[in-house]
Structure 1
Amino acid sequence: MNKEIERKFLVKDDSWKNLGEAVHYKQGYLSNDPERTVRVRIAGEKGFLTVKGKSTNDGLTRLEWEKELSVEEISPLFSLCLPGIIEKNRTKIQIGSHTFEVDEFFGQNDGLILAEVELRSESESFEIPDWLGEEVTGDKRYYNSYLAQHPFSTW
């Protein structure tokens, strides 16, 4: 099982929009227990089943296991998901040696734009693009599993 180390930020403007191609994502949760989340996802033409462990107190690190499946295999699992399906476009943007994933949310999370960067260690430095805003790493309100149950529009 891999460790996921990432930092998460709000995005403060639209200057990132022409820096990569957007891919549509649809995802739901079979479990959103704080000790473990189980997610089903369709990203473009691919399906994924993902299990994530509990985050460290600072929100930087957690265990993650992911298996790619076909869209045909993953689609029926959406009927088993908890209420609250997430829909978003994800744009991957290369900045220096790191890839930022910018998520522009739709539906009840419309207006929320987040960027994540995965790191090899918790202390790894990275170039910060001008369009990054406030860091929200560790703020559980910005976890997709939380947004599925408590949409941004209701805050």
Structure 2
Amino acid sequence: MALEIERKFLVETDAWRNAVESSKAIVQAYVAIDGDTSMRVRISDETRAELTVKIGVSDMTRHEFEYSIPVADARAMTEASRGRLIEKTRHILTIDGFIWEVDVYEGRLAGLVTAEIEMGSESDDPALPSWLGPEVTGDPAWSNAMLAMNGWPGGGFA
């Protein structure tokens, strides 16, 4: 079992693009959602797939169980997810020793860009880049599971 400790922000500008180290296309579907517990399947670059269970511990921390699965199985689970689907391109950046994941959403969430920073502890205090917008850490409406189910918080799908 791993702990995932991260903060999440909306992104306001494209100033992050020059710092991108790698990118991958992601399709992820939510097979089950129950409060702060979710089970998702993710296909990355059409070549790798994982099944992940996340269980909330706090606003920033979740238990994360992740397992590689055959891509064909992931596609079948995606089709069975009842439309609880997210399509995005994930861009990886390293700033001051911290890994940032900037997600540019596609499909029905096109126009949404978020950034998550992976931390070793909830007490980490990384410098925040100027391209960030409001912090949405701990706001369930901005979790990927809720975005897949409900679309844009307060406004439905774009």
TM-score, reference length from structure 2: 0.90
Instruction: Give, in angstroms, the shift of residue 35 of structure 1.
Output: 4.3
Match in the other structure for 2:114? 114
Aligned to 1:92: 92
Once residues 35 and 6 of structure 1 are traced to their aligned partners in structure 2, the CA distance between those partners, rounded to angstroms, is 15
Q: Residue 154 of structure 1 aligns to a residue in which SS?
A: coil
Q: Distance in 1 between matches of 2:103 and 2:57?
A: 20
Residue 106 of structure 1 aligns with an amino acid whose one-letter code is E
Query: In the alignment, which residue of structure 2 is the partner of 1:24?
Result: 25
Moved over 6 A (4+): none
Deviations 1:26-75 (A, max 9, x none): 0101101114200000111210100001342xx11111100122323322
Q: Deviations over 1:88-147 (max 9, x none)?
A: 110000101111000011122111110001111100121221211211101111101000
The equivalent of 2:105 in structure 1 is 105
Report how many aligned residue pairs link the two structures: 153
With 125-134 and 41-50 compared, the bigger mean Cα shift is at 125-134
Distance in 2, Cα, partners of 1:141 & 1:26: 19
| Percent of paired sites with the same residue | 37
Q: Structure 1 regions of 5+ residues with no counterpart? A: none
- In structure 2, the residue matched to 1:54 is 56
Structure 1 window deviating more from structure 2 (16-25 vs 104-113): it is 16-25
Is 1:31–1:82's contact at 8 Å kept on the other side of the alignment? no
User: Residues of 1 paired with 2:151 and 2:5: CA distance?
Assistant: 24
d(CA) in 2 for partners of 1:82 and 1:67?
22
SS at match of 1:5: strand
RMSD: 1.5
- The aligned residue for residue 128 of structure 2 is 128
Alignment partners' CA distance in 1, 2:103 and 2:4: 18
The aligned counterpart of 1:83 is: 83
Partner of 1:143: 143
1:7-27 per-position Cα deviation (integer Å, ceiling 9, x unaligned): 001111011123223311001
Q: C-alpha distance in 2, partners of 1:117/1:71? A: 27
Match of 1:34? 35
